[in-house]
Structure 1
Amino acid sequence: MSMREPEVVATLLLVDDEVNILNSLRRILRSEPYRLFTASGGEAALALLDQQPIDLVISDARMPGMDGATLLAQVQQRWPECLRILLTGYADITTTVKAINEGQIYRYISKPWDDHELRSIIHQALAFQHSERERLRLECLAREQNERLQELNATLEQRVHDRTAELEQTADMLDLAYVELRRSYVTATEVFANLVNQRLTRERQTNTQVIAVVKAYAERYQLDDRTSNDLAMAAALYNIGKLAWDDELLGQPSDLLYKEGRARYRQYPALGESLLMTLEPVQDAGRLIRHHQERWDGNGFPDRLAGEAIPLGARLLKLSVDFIELQCGMILDRKLTRDEALLLIKKYTGRLYDPELCSRFIELCNSLTPDLVLTDVSILALDTRRLEPGMVLARDLHAENGMLLLNEGKSLTSALINKLMVFEASEGGRYTLFVRKPESQTPAQEGAQSDQNSVSG
């Protein structure tokens, strides 16, 4: 009985005018679950792309007729979902720059290449492509379901009693989440971060707490909106590079890892950046993710940056991540208390952390309550039955499964409060919302409310 061939997971097109290079690439990839096509030049490659769906093109830079950069630029224009990698020699810098600018390539690989590194880059590229396709599928699904909800909205009150509890939960959750998703790209990033958390146990889902810390710092020290948004997105996705880890590695404190596990751990910040590099709105956040494990003394990773060469946002992100992960048992072999975590951070100031930034960070954390809400007398913790129209959320609201329901800054209305109560009843739980008192609204908000009351009168 013949052995079953491995299932093909991707289709690759290899382009080079040298037969021995094509043969070498085929040899390296023959044990991988790929379907391979080859072409000896750019025109032949384009003709094949017209006939076959291709996931990834690997092209040599220097070829007679159409060079690799020109080929990949045309691939980007005609088949933008097809990933592009350029093989280049040290003398091909002009071609490489052209490929980056016009072909928007995923990576370039210098000749001669390392076989293991080449396979690894291809694996990473295809993993990124898969995650991006899944994200687009989920966005399309959300749009379709929201349109259906809008069609049913006129008669929702009559229909809700005819639906099962499961449909009630799904409908209200999608309605609330989708409306808030459109308000800002930061909110969309936090929703995507919830997908990352599905790989993690409840106690290791640290993104929400890290986001709360960086937002508190940004508000306390009045960081500009762009920096604050980049920090919030980086906090939401800082551990995206761990998605490919197995469950055993995910469950190990980082200080107990060794050999292969430690090597993979040191790769996750750079991998996180590479997964986000083609998404322009999060490229700055990706840079913060790459450098958030650098150390003030220059002994961090992946680039061993030191001092102020480390981006300020990355320095703050490291403080926030370490503060939360120390309390979750993700760094040492035991969970530290809040005070123990701050004492340890203070001990390593000047070595791991920026001394001046560390001092402000510790001062901030000492003003936070254990659930990370600022000790602000204008903030109330209320259940859904005590909510009033006009109150404004002071922090994000998540469902029991971690999905974002409402984001900070949302103004509550009677209809929205009623929907929350229906959703809460269908889920069988109780929610506590942190809101600002109506009298703590800004003058602009008070003016808008006054105008609304005048219109209503």
Structure 2
Amino acid sequence: MGESVAFTDTERAVVLLIDAHPQVLHSLTHLLRLEPFELHSATCAADALAILASQPVDLVMSAARLPDMDGASLLAHIHQHYPHTVRILLTSETDLTLIIKAINEGEIYRYLSKPWKDEELLLALRQSLAHQHSERERARLEQLIQQQNDALKQLNTTLEKRVASRTSELQQTADMLDLAYEELKHSYATGAEVFSLLANLRLPRAKQTNRQIIELVRTWCVAHGEDCASNRDLTMAAALYNIGKLSWSDSMMASPSDLLHSSDRERYRAYPAQSESLLMTLEPMKDAARLIRHHQERWDGSGFPDHLKGEAIPAGSRLLKLAVDFIELQKGLILERQMNSDEALLYIRKYAGRLYDPLLVEDFVQVCATYLNDVTLGDPNVKVLGTRELEEGMVLARNLNADNGMLLLNAGKVLNLPLVDKLIAFETMEGARYSVFIKEHTEIAAQHP
């Protein structure tokens, strides 16, 4: 269930629905009849603007095509004259230009597609109004803080004799103001993460990536002592790296990129630049947008959109590619087969110097070990072998499980030739490929003199 909006019976949210088709308005009104909303409807932009001029409106949801004005232009007008009204675009259009116009000029909270899913639409409206309520509360608190600050300044000028006794109180107030200012600077990063969660609604749960990529990037920033600005830019880039995919069909969004047909592949190669264009108008996101544009560049210059090579690729983009590929390989969004975390890291190591910055790869593996809480990934005395590379006397560094989860061998097991032969035969029978974590010979020799 969606988060409820903090409106009472005496303070109901005013919602204006705009669509050229009365039957659509009827369907929406029927869907929202049990919500704590005061509903108004209009079939054209002129009627909608008349309603807005006559009373405060909390949220407007407009269709993309209206008889006297397109929805994007209407929402841009509403943004200019009623900036505190939440704006949502309801469209059956696939025209990315219209959607970009609504986002850039109308600064819409989000857009929904026709035909809509009832639960998704209800959740979007509830979240939109909850966000509006929290923003109003934040503004109220900021005004209250400003009023308190002004009162304290006046007290300071008129009651000099009380300065000493008020020093502690004034310091506490100053600290509170500093904290409020820092929170404002972080609001864009927080907003980016919230929007990424909404964007993820387009994907099945098993294909959602943004939250894991955000956490992996944060783990990197902590491990490498990144400053606050770099941390925010990397986090926002991780949250919104795939915003340019939102105009894709559901099937294309969930398909492995290596299996896309030629026409879809061109759209795929355009998404980093489209993601950047959606964010460039927002000043605090310009640096994050640049990282997103180049996160599909490759170390050898074969990437896109600009075919940058080596250190010409921004450092943050090189890191973001590692994080995106590590998670998307496990989600089946790059190759048809979903990899586990071990296989994804082996893939990244294999293509170091071709797809990835070779100087970042091992540091990234160490961070993944921290992120996954897996000691063996970061142990320099552990190597990963295929079954046909195993030799008698080798010692397993971790448990070996079959693809179905069945335990085959325990960590610490000393291999012999019959056991290796049986393992190869079982792998062949199952049609699998096992990655076996082995302790280095130096450690084996110490254990078996």
Q: Given the two structures, how large is their TM-score scaled by the length of structure 1?
A: 0.48
Which of structures 1 and 2 has the bigger CA Rg?
2
TM norm structure 2: 0.48
